[in-house]
Copies of this chain bind each other. A is one copy, B any other.
């Protein structure tokens, strides 16, 4: 994953741009990918696809020609989608258009104004502090022209047409943790699932890490927000079949993993992924919808769509704290040096573990009535020896009633999905339960 990051991170991947396309095409070499195209001006629900934007040249100079900053030195020096501008500007006017980072004096901030139509440059606070002349010369040569917004979709068909979406955005130029890490983890997830699909001839549930897939997976790589809206608005027929999803971003640095719930906290996706996280990363933490970080999951959770999409990211300080999610966030300091292969691999493991849980999130239907004769089936846990294990076994068993999914049981017992699955697997091995994709209530008094 680090190689791809090295190769692609510095590209000027603005939302509709040649470098975005370059990055996406490069990714498409790794796995079979459908590229959806949406031309400038195309209606996408309440939105329209914006123009392609290119910055040809941009700099700030003193009147005597000393160049203070140059787009050639760093793509973040120009506001993404800045209008073109050329001329002499007085210091005060310049400062209104010259953005700096609020927390990092030596970093260039990442600023975008897709729809506000303004010109702007970005510099370090350090540089800005030296600007004492009365007047400066500004040159921003950008062009807006018809283009094609692109969304990459890696589709991995399972037995069912019900799909789980994994979403990452690719449109943050010259930065790494946000957003390229989410993309490469998504890509590796796709690769792992494609391998599983390759073994589709294998038979028999329950799926294991290596078994074939039940759900169809759609891994989407797109420009933030408008990419999701473009895709969803042109694939409305798929929405009712989307039963869950996960947005990925900021997965390579040292912050702890945070899982943000969907708008529907009682959905199967929420029960499953949140309880799975506990088993996968005890240091990970949970947050409600919109309390950790906002991204494309918003479009999926929004009215008229309402797909329960969660979000996984490494976040030091959740949104509610008012602090940035990590120090280098949205700045020129978000470079390959702040991410590591270990962290990326650990993130990937968590995503794959969540997919595993999702595949296994059956409703557990009891073949038995009353309590199971545990000794007779060799699954007895002596309460005198292991009281917790004994209690847990029975707490799980008594919820195997065709009305609780594995995730529902884990959620009710506040225990990892994997711990419940272990017991359920054992019961299934003994033919004490069967697994159903839909509820199958067995209460005789209903």
Binding site for B on A (CB under 8 A): 45-48, 114-116, 225, 228-229, 232-233, 236, 239-240, 242-243, 263, 290, 298-299, 301-307, 322, 366, 368-373, 375-377, 380, 387, 391, 394-395, 397-402, 432, 442-445
Contacts and interface: CB of A to CB of B under 8 A. Distances in A.
**Chain A at the B interface: mostly helix, strand, loop or mixed?**
loop
Given A115-B380, A373-B47, A444-B239, A301 B229 contact: no
B373 A304 contact: no
Contacts of A444: 236, 239-240, 304-306
29 contacts: A45-B373, A46-B376, A46-B377, A47-B370, A47-B373, A47-B376, A115-B376, A116-B375, A229-B370, A229-B373, A239-B445, A240-B444, A240-B445, A301-B398, A302-B369, A302-B371, A302-B397, A303-B366, A303-B400, A303-B443, A304-B368, A304-B369, A305-B369, A305-B370, A305-B444, A306-B443, A306-B444, A306-B445, A322-B387
Contacts of A307: 445
Nearest to A230: B370
A243 B444 CA distance: 11
Nearest to A442: B304
A306 B371 CA distance: 11
Contact of A46 (B242, B290, B402, B432): B432
A370 B240 contact: no
Nearest to A289: B398
Nearest to A237: B444
A45 B369 contact: yes
A382 to B, nearest CB: 8
Given A240-B445, A444-B306, A445-B306, A369 B48 contact: no
Given A115-B376, A116-B375, A398-B301, A46 B443 contact: no
A272 to B, nearest CB: 16
Please provide the 7 A-B residue pairs with the shortest distance between their CB atoms, ordered closest to farther: A304-B369, A115-B375, A47-B373, A303-B401, A303-B366, A46-B373, A299-B370
User: Quick one: which of A114, A115, A232 has the most chain B CB within 10 A?
Assistant: A115
A233 B371 CA distance: 11
Contacts of A442: 303-304
A411 to B, nearest CB: 17
A427 to B, nearest CB: 11
Nearest to A301: B398
Contacts of A299: 370-371
A296 B120 CA distance: 65
Nearest to A226: B373
Given A115-B375, A304-B401, 14 more contacts: A45-B369, A46-B376, A229-B371, A229-B373, A243-B445, A263-B398, A290-B394, A298-B394, A298-B398, A299-B371, A302-B397, A303-B398, A304-B442, A305-B370
Given A299-B370, A304-B368, A376 B233 contact: no
Nearest to A306: B443
A417 to B, nearest CB: 20
User: Quick one: which of A116, A240, A305, A399 has the most chain B CB within 10 A?
Assistant: A305
A236 to B, nearest CB: 8
A304 B233 contact: no
Contact of A302 (B301, B322, B377, B398): B398
Contacts of A371: 225, 229, 298-299, 302
A45 B240 contact: no
A182 to B, nearest CB: 20
B304 A370 contact: yes
A372 B298 CA distance: 11
Given A116-B375, A445-B306, A370 B45 contact: yes
Nearest to A111: B384
A137 B400 CA distance: 48
